[in-house]
A and B are shown apart, each in its own frame.
Chain A
Amino acid sequence: MSDDPIVQMTGIRKDFTGVRALDGVDFTLRPGEIHAVMGENGAGKSTLIKVLTGVHHPDAGEILLDGRPVRFHSPGAAQAAGISTVYQEVNLTDNLSVAENLFAGREPRLGPFINFRAMRRKAKALLDDIGIDLNVAAPLSSYSIAMQQLVAIARAVDIEAKVLILDEPTSSLDRDEVAVLLGVMRRLAENGTAMVFISHFLDQVYEICDRMTVLRNGQLVGEWATADLPENALIGHMLGREAATLEQIERTAAAHHVEDEAPLVQATGLGRKGSIAPYDLEVRRGEVVGLAGLLGSGRTETVRLIAGADRADSGSLVFDGEATGFHNPRTASARGIAYCPENRKTEGLVGDLTVAENMILAMQASRGWARSIPVARRDKLVAEFIEKLDIRPANPDMPVKNLSGGNQQKVLLARWMLIEPKLLILDEPTRGIDVGAKADIQKLVAELSADGMSVLFVSAELDEVTRLSDRIAVLRDRELIAVLEAEADMTTEKIVDTIVAGGHGNE
């Protein structure tokens, strides 16, 4: 590895309307290295990356690329200088074909005209190289999100970037897809491409990265070689405290069993064609029921039927002793069901409204629009929840879109807690957020259920499901295959075994 850094950022500062997102951060990237930027949500990782890629302009500090000072005014300019980025959300246009997405803006041409044949051939070769096989003439929208993400990576790779930035690229990928991606990254590193890798999956970070830079609250904590920084020390640096929080939660789970009463939710043969096979599921009062399964196994579809977000076409649902067919989330929420959907940006929060406004939305709706909530009461409630959930920055008047993912998730949770539902449905509440916020949210779920609220908890992370749930519903191939009682000896292996054994033969 050469010692001359390819990127050197010094003293970077960035303010957003009164909040200092980055405060004098240094960052050094050397050719051929894979460098992780670690930190909690809101630590400033995304801001740092966006400064480097020309999305944001720093208020102070200097960026050297190949030893020369640079200042990018747009992502296009950064890309032209050799800095390519793959974002967490797929940023391609799905109305165009795969090949067009790969080569948009730099299509092979004959004179002024695009040479579609050459473009398809090159696209095919590029994807072959990476190890994916797609119909490159098909519209991108006809592929899964995971595959679209790999296409985005292929695009970034082909730009022959000197620097490739991967911002949470694996959060929507399954294990095989992650393996393909990490393979591609290793090969690029061998060819001298420097990579910045941001991920909440510590095992991936430890598997692939040479070096780590840790940020906390917009400030630099330090830079280490991966080998010199064991995992618990890393977590300690990220949180700024000893990582004891996670362990506390283990004790709270499975400590309570509410028996005998009629269940709060009783679904019998509930199903929807093409979405989830008919299933039976009970949720008792004060119980946490986890839903486990692979991506696309029907976890979200299962809870959407109970939440009234989708209409069931078979079976029946009894909620709180009454037969119901919820036709929309509004009637469901009136009966005491709160649903936090998976995609918090598009389905949950209103980005331009403030933290306080987002929090009281559901409460206001349940009171009816004519009866406004007194300002003093509103302020008190909002302040209480900001404190309780440790929302940062603790500013009720900040637009929600300026918050980091974990804090947005907390605002969403606060919204539903304000109306004190009987059943809280959480769909991937901890996806894409950092360890600290994850611990806060898990702790909260445990507390809520101790107070008697029932919780349906969907998560891709099996250990999280295991830790929190009283019972675990296991799904596979859009079918509920088993409901496991979480005894003290429940392990993730048991869930995996159930998934493997419970399906239709071995595929």
Chain B
Amino acid sequence: MSTQTLTERPARSTLFDGVTRYIPIGATVALLLVLYLGGIASFPKFDSPQVVAKLFIDNAPLLIIAVGMTFVILSGGIDLSVGSVMAFSTMCCAWLTVDAGLSAPLVVGLVLAFGTLWGLGIGAVIHYFNVQPFIATLVGLFLFRGLTLQISDTDVSMRDIQFFHWGMEHLVEVGKIRTGGFWLPNLSFVAFAVVIVAFVVLHYTRFGRGVYAVGGSEQSALLMGLPVARTKIGVYAVSGFCAALAGVMAAMGTKSANPLANVGAELDAIAAVVIGGTLLTGGAGFVLGTVAGVMVWGLLNTLIAFQGDLSSWWARIAMGVLLLAFILLQRVLARSGEKRRT
């Protein structure tokens, strides 16, 4: 029996540690408030609740792929294929229902299965062949964009398929927009559901904690006997599923498939994840931060739409500047953390 007890207090108080951990997300929330209040001060009608609701209508697909991306980035990887997988999924929805005449629910099931399988496949390539995720998923970016354009190089309308109208049906309607009410369609709630499920999985399941462990140190996770292969492949499957689901939601949102839709969506998703406070090196971050990141992107676009004169590219320019600011903030925090430890 040991006769003595060793006590050690954390080098930082947990309270302080808690604070540093939340600085990036705090900055994101503050930024959201600034953008929103700035909008209200500058433009009449910006205070309509529908402005906020619209964020979750227009950006539901982006939110879904950003959630999938959060899993991948937390594990220390990256997934560049999601924009193309999403466009391919939308195109498949149109092609298989309109041209091939298959039933819409079956097609949706097939598309979701395809996204998951693609993720499993590329995850296996990344893990077992030890390929850089950047390169492996770049394969998907080219492959599925090419396939999408091969199916059709013009827009395909899905307006005649009744099933795809479900997404924009109003699930919640409060008052009239004119009198300060708002509405939200089904597809927004699909995105919310994805966020909630992701949150629970990441924080309360072994798979989720494994994602953080692998992102913290893959070598350690392996030596601790954690299922590293399953975890690494799993995150790409989650991301692939989310991309396919986002494609289906996009099909419902626009009721048409544009072969050049969502070019660069993977980069928007990565930007949203990083602005939401997730470390690009993996191991630290929150899925709710990703929601805030997506809202920042949406609000920037809304502000530019309200302003009216500016080209929509200004949203990208602003996003670029913000991304730089957030990456620097992360580095500064990481560095001060290292200093305290030594």
Contacts and interface: CB of A to CB of B under 8 A. Distances in A.
Nearest to A116: B204
Contacts of B9: 135
Contact of B6 (A74, A133, A142): A133
Interface string A288-311: 000000000000000000000000
B225 A75 contact: yes
B224 A91 contact: yes
A91 B223 contact: yes
Give the size range of B's interface with the partner. Answer: 35 or more
30 contacts: A74-B225, A76-B227, A80-B225, A91-B217, A93-B216, A93-B224, A93-B283, A95-B284, A100-B209, A100-B213, A101-B224, A104-B209, A104-B213, A105-B224, A107-B209, A112-B205, A113-B200, A116-B204, A128-B5, A132-B5, A133-B5, A134-B7, A139-B17, A142-B10, A142-B12, A144-B8, A150-B6, A155-B224, A177-B6, A180-B6
Given A75-B225, A135-B14, A183 B8 contact: no
A55 B224 CA distance: 12
Interface in B204-235: 204-206, 209-210, 212-213, 215-217, 219-227
Given A76-B227, A114-B204, A143-B10, 13 more contacts: A80-B225, A93-B224, A107-B209, A113-B205, A116-B204, A131-B3, A132-B5, A141-B341, A142-B10, A144-B8, A147-B8, A180-B6, A187-B1
Contact of B2 (A55, A113, A116, A130): A130
B222 A75 contact: yes
B11 interface: yes
A176 B204 contact: no
Give the size range of A's interface with the partner. Answer: 35 or more
Contacts of B150: none
B4 interface: yes
Interface string A163-191: 00000000000001101100110010000
A113 to B, nearest CB: 4
Contacts of B209: 96, 100, 104, 107, 114
Contacts of A143: 8, 10-11
Contacts of B4: 131, 176, 179-180
Nearest to A150: B6
Given A76-B225, A113-B205, A138 B10 contact: yes
Interface in A104-123: 104-105, 107, 109, 112-114, 116
B121 to A, nearest CB: 22
Nearest to B74: A95
A114 B3 CA distance: 33
A85 B2 contact: no
A95 B223 contact: no
A79 interface: yes
Interface of B: 1-12, 14, 17, 200, 204-206, 209-210, 212-213, 215-217, 219-227, 283-284, 337, 339, 341-342
A94 B341 CA distance: 12
A325 B319 CA distance: 41
A318 interface: no
Contacts of A441: none
A132 B5 CA distance: 5
A142 B337 CA distance: 9
B15 to A, nearest CB: 10
B311 to A, nearest CB: 41
Nearest to B7: A133
A297 to B, nearest CB: 14
Interface string A400-416: 00000000000000000
Contacts of A363: none
Nearest to B224: A104
Contacts of A183: 1-3
B319 to A, nearest CB: 27
Contacts of B213: 93, 96, 100, 104
A499 interface: no
A93 B284 contact: no
Given A95-B215, A96-B209, A113 B223 contact: no
Interface string A10-39: 000000000000000000000000000000
Contacts of A95: 212, 215-216, 283-284
